[in-house]
Amino acid sequence: MPIVSIEPATPDRWDDLERMFGPTGAYGHCWCAFFRRRAKDFTASTSCPPPERGRDNRETLRRLTLDGRIPGLIAYDGTEPCGWVSVAPREEFIRLSRSRALRPVDPDEPGVWSVVCFWLPPRRRKHGLGTRLLDAAIEYARAEGGSVLEGYPVDTAGGRAPSAEVYTGSVRMFQKAGFSCAPHPVSERPVARLRLKDD
């Protein structure tokens, strides 16, 4: 794979992000808003008929980006956007705080960031770009003052799974990056954690 740069999704990069996600907004009109919206609002956006389908999700991501909130990082092959990872302070992801399966055990712990989603166009998959995006997310969260980075990967038991099922990453990928993975105390779903700085 050619050399890839990975950059924050700043307002001037919105057109690149929109072009990469395409008309369906990555995973089924998601626009990487799944963790940023209440369940009923997200579902309403993805279940309405075209051309409105996904419009509110797109607007959520567009507004965040154009407001300079940096909702994630974009990978580039030259000038072509070719990958995405959503990483931000954990409190920005409203779905986590409301989720029985992933609700934080320590909601008041300061400095926790979350990496919640990866998106790679089909021809970019299986070349290690997801790992490079995770490494970049680690460095970005650390540089922005995060003390812990959390992820919510899927345990594929060392095998492969459809991309739409592992959009949060795999346990193996997170472990290779140095994260410790433990089951959530309620749902037993894997939660990956990496300390970004010494106490």
Q: How do residues 9-67 score in pLDDT, each as one tens digit? A: 999 999 999 999 988 898 889 999 999 999 999 999 999 888 899 999 999 999 999 99
In which band, very low, low, confident or very high, does the pLDDT at 127 lie, cut at 50, 70 and 90? confident
CA distances from 46 to 15, 29, 76 (A): 21, 6, 28
Identify the pLDDT of residue 195: 97
Rounded average pLDDT over 121-147: 90
pLDDT value at position 158? 66
Q: Is the pTM of this model over 0.75?
A: yes
First to last CA, the chain: 38
Average pLDDT score over residue span 115-134? 87
pLDDT computed for residue 136 by the predictor: 97
Residue 82: in which H helix or E strand, if any?
Answer: strand 80-89
Alpha carbon distance 22, 20 (integer Å): 5
Q: Is the peptide bond prior to 23 cis by the omega test (within 30 degrees of 0)?
A: no
| Number of structural domains the chain divides into | 1
Q: Name the DSSP class of 29.
A: I
136-158 pLDDT tens trace = 999 999 999 999 999 999 988 76
Which CATH number characterizes residue 49's domain?
A: 3.40.630.30
Q: What is the pLDDT of residue 23?
A: 87
* 104-113 residue pLDDT tens: 989 889 999 9
Please give the residue range of the domain that contains residue 40: 4-195
Report the alpha-carbon distance of residue 167 to residue 130 in Å, rounded.
Answer: 10
User: In one letter, which amino acid is 164?
Assistant: A
